[in-house]
């Protein structure tokens, strides 16, 4: 009875907590934005959570440790503040409910068999889908030994422990709510009995469509009376119009097609001879993305041919999707079936200012020089400077299949990068310093890099004017009929 009573006493507060978490908590902000004596001893206080003052220096230090100045600063500070609010509310209410997380339980959540979802999400090898326990064990040994480790990583690990504790307490509280809300056996049985009851009934259907229409005579007044009573069913908010129209399709003629074929044929030799394929394709409105494609990924119109002709040869013209196309083979190679890579990410987004973008690229350049000079290892700098979940794993991304990563990253590691060399690439997530550490070749499939120039088979000017003239002639004839 004591435990149940405690649950009941705190139940309403638990529900309030759940709502409070969604709304950002019961926050009493005390932001200092002015000048003068008002800021005497409070200048370092950025706000209060349930009466507890939050030191702005400690807050900024935590933000720097987590994000290292990359990405959307406002969003990051807002996320950190919300976390602190939730953490304070959950811990305070958990203490009132007698809930906690012991050292042994915390150890199990971080290193044991019952891992916290936070640890699972950050230490899962994307290639295997399994938690990288070897990496966890290595970090544990490093933290427990006297080995020198980056102070920022130690701070991050302690912060992560706090996240694990918060998540565990929140789970326990949710479980208490779930267990406190129950249906008594007698009530459940009553509902089950009601659902199981059956009734016998007999009815006769009188379908109206069996009544001959000749047996019923309706006058205009009958229709009007029905419409008065049921007018709302047929009410239209917008006026409608009934119209008739004629479509004159403007289709390319045989002469139009022949002219476009001649134009693209004249480009073939120029395309073959150019030393700057990218510029030529851009000037002609063609397509080229720098990727290598296997036979199965290519159009069946050209797939076989591109694996037979020499690099630099131009195939076509050929017709596809209403266009005449020519395709130039720019490269052919065997691509790996999977690649293992590691990276150091400096976060950016589409709203990042130019100075932050320049800073990110400069940081990546500096890290590249430090690693290439042998002053530091890749994994140590990844742990110190990386701004995503792989930082704790030395930047290791595990093995990835083609197309698994975002395109710029995918194209780099599969088509350009050589193992052991460092490369810089920008993606939607920011700027990466990348190293390919391993490649697996299973099928040894060849792939090709192709550039395309195409022209749509559109109606020519003469064709368009002819159809326009026909349409105007018909319109004039119809107006005469109307008159």
pLDDT digits (tens, 9 = 90+) for 10-22: 444 444 444 344 4
pLDDT (0 to 100) of residue 285: 86
Mean pLDDT of the residues in the chain: 83
The model's pTM? 0.46
CA distance 162 to 481: 85
Counting residues of the chain whose pLDDT is more than 90, the rounded percentage is 34
Q: Where are the alpha helices (DSSP H) in 97-219?
A: 103-111, 117-122, 133-144, 151-180, 185-196
Cα distances (angstroms) measured from residue 312 to each of 102, 268, 292, 478:
68, 12, 15, 59
CA separation (Å) from 450 to 114, 268, 305? 50, 14, 12
Whether residue 356 has pLDDT greater than 90? no
Which SS3 state, helix, strand or coil, does residue 96 take? helix
The angle subtended at Cα 53 by Cα 47 and Cα 59, nearest 5°, is 70
| CATH 3.10.50.40 domain residues, the chain | 338-444
The per-residue pLDDT for 183 is: 81
Write out pLDDT tens, residues 390-441: 888 899 999 988 888 898 999 999 999 999 999 999 998 899 999 999 999 9
Question: Confidence class of residue 38 from pLDDT cuts 50, 70 and 90?
Answer: very low
Closest CA to 44 of 454, 53, 35: 53
- Range with the poorest average pLDDT among 26-35, 331-340, 348-357: 26-35
**DSSP-derived pairing of the beta strands 52-55 and 430-440:** unpaired
**Mean pLDDT calculated for residue range 325-340:** 93
Q: Is residue 90 predicted with pLDDT exceeding 80?
A: yes
pLDDT given at position 482: 62
In the structure, what pLDDT confidence band is assigned to residue 264 with cuts at 50, 70 and 90? very high
Element (H, E) at 333: strand 323-334
**Confidence bin at 180 (pLDDT 50/70/90):** confident
Task: Kindly indicate the confidence band of residue 382, based on its pLDDT and cuts at 50, 70 and 90.
Answer: very high
How high is the pLDDT of residue 155? 81
Residues 344 and 471: their CA atoms lie apart, in Å, by: 64
User: Is 70 exceeded by the pLDDT of residue 278?
Assistant: yes
Q: Is the pLDDT of residue 194 over 60?
A: yes
The 10 Å CB-count burial string (b at 16+, else e) for 214-249 is eeeeeeeeeeeeeeeeeeeeeeeeeeeeeeeeeeee
> Angle, nearest 10°, between helix axes 56-67 and 151-180?
100
Q: What is the pLDDT at residue 42?
A: 46
For domain 338-444, give the fold.
Answer: Chitinase A; domain 3 (3.10.50)
Which residues, other chains included, contact 228 with Cβ-Cβ below 8 Å and sequence gap of 6+? none
User: Rounded to whole angstroms, how far apart are CA atoms 439 and 420?
Assistant: 11
Cα angle vertex 229, ends 226, 232, to 5°?
110
Calpha distance 272→423 (Å, rounded) = 31
Q: Look at residue 26 in the predicted model and tell me its pLDDT.
A: 38
Q: What is the pLDDT of residue 22?
A: 40
% of the chain at pLDDT higher than 70: 87
- State the pLDDT at residue 81: 87
Note the pLDDT of residue 69: 53
User: Residue 334: beta bridge partners?
Assistant: 446
Residue 39 neighbours by CB under 8 Å, 6+ apart: 32
Q: How confident is the model at residue 252 (pLDDT cuts 50, 70, 90)?
A: very high
């Amino acid at each position: 009875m004591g435990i149940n009573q405690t649950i009941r006493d705190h139940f309403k507060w638990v529900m309030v907590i759940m709502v409070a978490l969604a709304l950002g908590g019961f926050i009493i902000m005390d932001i200092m934005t002015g000048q003068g004596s008002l800021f005497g001893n409070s200048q370092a206080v950025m706000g209060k959570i349930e009466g507890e003052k939050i030191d702005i220096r400690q807050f900024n230090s935590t933000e720097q440790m987590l994000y290292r100045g990359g990405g959307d600063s406002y969003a990051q500070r807002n996320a950190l503040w919300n976390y602190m609010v939730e953490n304070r509310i959950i811990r305070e209410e958990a203490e009132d409910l007698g809930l906690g997380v012991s050292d042994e339980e915390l150890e199990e959540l971080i290193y044991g068999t019952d891992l916290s979802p936070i640890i699972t999400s950050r230490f899962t090898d994307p290639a295997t889908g399994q938690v990288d326990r070897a990496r966890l064990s290595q970090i544990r040994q490093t933290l427990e030994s006297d080995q020198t480790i980056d102070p920022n990583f130690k701070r991050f690990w302690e912060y992560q422990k706090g996240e694990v504790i918060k998540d565990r307490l929140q789970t326990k509280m949710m479980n208490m709510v779930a267990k406190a809300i129950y249906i008594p056996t007698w009530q459940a049985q009553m509902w089950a009995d009601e659902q199981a009851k059956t009734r016998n009934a007999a009815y006769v259907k009188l379908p109206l469509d069996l009544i001959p229409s000749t047996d019923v005579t309706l006058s205009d007044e009958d229709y009007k009376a029905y419409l008065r009573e049921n007018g709302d069913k047929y009410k239209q908010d917008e006026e409608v119009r009934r119209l008739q129209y004629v479509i004159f399709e403007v289709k390319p003629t045989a002469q139009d097609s022949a002219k476009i074929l001649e134009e693209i044929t004249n480009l073939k030799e120029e395309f073959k001879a150019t030393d700057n394929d990218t510029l030529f394709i851009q000037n002609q409105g063609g397509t080229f993305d720098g990727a290598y494609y296997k036979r199965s990924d290519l159009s069946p119109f050209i797939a076989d041919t591109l694996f037979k002709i020499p690099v630099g040869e131009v195939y076509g013209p050929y017709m596809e999707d209403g266009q005449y196309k020519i395709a130039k083979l720019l490269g052919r190679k065997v691509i790996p079936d999977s690649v293992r890579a590691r990276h150091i990410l400096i976060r950016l987004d589409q709203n990042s200012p130019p100075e932050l973008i320049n800073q990110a690229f400069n940081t990546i350049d500096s890290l590249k020089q430090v690693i290439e000079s042998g002053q530091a290892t890749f994994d140590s700098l990844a742990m110190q400077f990386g701004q995503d979940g792989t930082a704790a794993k030395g930047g290791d991304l595990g093995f990835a299949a083609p197309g698994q990563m975002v395109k710029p990253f995918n194209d780099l590691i599969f088509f350009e990068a050589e193992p052991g060399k460092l490369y810089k690439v920008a993606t939607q997530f920011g700027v990466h310093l990348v190293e390919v550490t391993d490649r697996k070749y299973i099928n040894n499939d060849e792939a090709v890099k192709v550039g395309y120039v195409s022209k749509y088979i559109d109606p020519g000017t003469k064709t368009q004017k002819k159809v326009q003239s026909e349409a105007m002639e018909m319109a004039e004839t119809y107006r005469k009929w109307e008159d």
